């Protein structure tokens, strides 16, 4: 067994997160002095995975920023909404927050449509009107300056803030950064962490806390501290989330799909084939 894994194959929380990428921005001159808060924890795509959020290892941050998708796919949307509302200084709306708030299609890829539809109904059934109003009134984007560094926060991309899908190596980023005036563009949505520099702009995606698609069942996040951005990941009690998914009032196929994505980042082959119209 690997460290942090129990005999059932489930991963348990370890205290020390692992850095998976670091970039020094060097945006400040030699005479600059940091004032106020200097350590910012950045999370995204929690997707109602309260066990993962509760195990978040950084306690000494000065601000917490959240890039949206608090809900759908996971078993504890109310708890996540209330925790983020309590702790986060900045939150932007994701496509699943939008879908729950306005009862519309989150425009997921085809294999995830059934999972999104069933869990959205579940989410809307247990969230209070106050929770739903909070989600629907979240801003689409936010701009903030920390000392000499300017940040542009959006769930997806500047030109399509809720739905635009843009992986790390896409040439589209070169066009996207033309729409903003910021040193750092902070995005989520793809569930895969990366740091990319184009010209004078650094693009940061912290990955997903609640449904990472890295091939590892490790929650992902980023930290900005004194001009350095690092990508990090940590183990959490995955078995707790799996147990809670088994109690969700959704179909067995959807439960199996949700659990597979938590463990591996992808849907089972048979389920993907079925939703894509391949085979029986």
Segments in the chain forming alpha helices (H): 50-54, 77-87, 95-102, 113-126, 129-136, 172-176, 238-246, 252-264, 269-276
| Residue-level pLDDT at 1 | 30
| Residue-level pLDDT at 17 | 52
CB atoms within 10 A of CB 255: 18
Q: Which pTM does this prediction carry? A: 0.85
Look at residue 270 and tell me if it is in a domain: yes
Look at residue 7 and tell me if it is in a domain: no
Residue 272 in this model has a pLDDT that exceeds 90 = no
| Residue-level pLDDT at 95 | 98
Look at residue 161 and tell me if it is in a domain: yes
Q: What is the CATH number of the domain that holds 240?
A: 3.60.21.10
Per the structure, the complete domain to which residue 186 belongs is given by: 18-276
Give the pLDDT confidence of 185-238 residue by residue, as tens digits: 999 999 999 999 999 999 999 999 999 999 999 999 999 998 899 999 999 999
Residues 210/53, Cβ–Cβ less than 8 Å: yes
Look at residue 228 and tell me if it is in a domain: yes
Residue with tokens 């940590």, as numbered in its chain: 234
Alpha-carbon span 102 to 97, nearest angstrom: 9
Q: Token digits for 269?
A: 């082959």
Look at residue 6 and tell me if it is in a domain: no
Residues 65/46, Cβ–Cβ less than 8 Å: no
| Residue-level pLDDT at 227 | 86
Residue 89 in this model has a pLDDT that exceeds 60 = yes
Look at residue 96 and tell me if it is in a domain: yes
Give the pLDDT confidence of 164-193 residue by residue, as tens digits: 999 999 999 999 999 999 999 999 999 999
CB atoms within 10 A of CB 266: 14
Look at residue 137 and tell me if it is in a domain: yes
SS3 51: helix
Look at residue 9 and tell me if it is in a domain: no
Provide the number of structural domains found in the chain: 1
């Amino acid at each position: 067994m690997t460290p942090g894994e129990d005999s059932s194959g489930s991963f348990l929380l370890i205290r020390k997160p692992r850095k998976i990428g670091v970039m020094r921005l060097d945006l400040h001159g030699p005479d600059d002095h940091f004032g106020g808060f200097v350590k910012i924890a950045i999370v995204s795509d929690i997707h109602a995975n309260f066990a993962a959020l509760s195990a978040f290892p950084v306690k000494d941050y000065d601000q917490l920023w959240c890039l949206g998708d608090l809900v759908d796919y996971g078993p504890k949307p109310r708890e996540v909404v209330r925790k983020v509302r309590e702790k986060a200084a900045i939150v932007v709306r994701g496509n699943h927050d939008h879908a729950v708030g306005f009862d519309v299609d989150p425009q997921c890829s085809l294999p995830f449509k059934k999972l999104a539809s069933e869990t959205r109904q579940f989410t809307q059934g247990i969230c209070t009107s106050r929770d739903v109003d909070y989600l629907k009134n979240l801003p689409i984007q936010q701009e903030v300056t920390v000392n000499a560094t300017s940040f542009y926060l959006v769930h997806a991309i500047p030109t399509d803030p809720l739905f635009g899908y843009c992986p790390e190596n896409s040439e589209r980023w070169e066009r996207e950064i033309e729409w903003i005036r910021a040193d750092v563009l902070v995005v989520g949505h793809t569930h895969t962490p990366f740091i990319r520099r184009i010209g004078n702009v650094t693009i940061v995606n912290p990955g997903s806390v609640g449904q990472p698609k890295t091939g590892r069942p490790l929650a992902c996040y980023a930290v900005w501290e004194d001009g350095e951005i690092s990508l990090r990941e940590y183990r959490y009690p995955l078995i707790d989330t799996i147990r809670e998914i088994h109690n969700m009032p959704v179909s067995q196929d959807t439960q199996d799909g949700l659990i597979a994505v938590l463990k591996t980042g992808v849907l089972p082959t048979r389920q993907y084939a079925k939703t894509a119209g391949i085979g029986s």
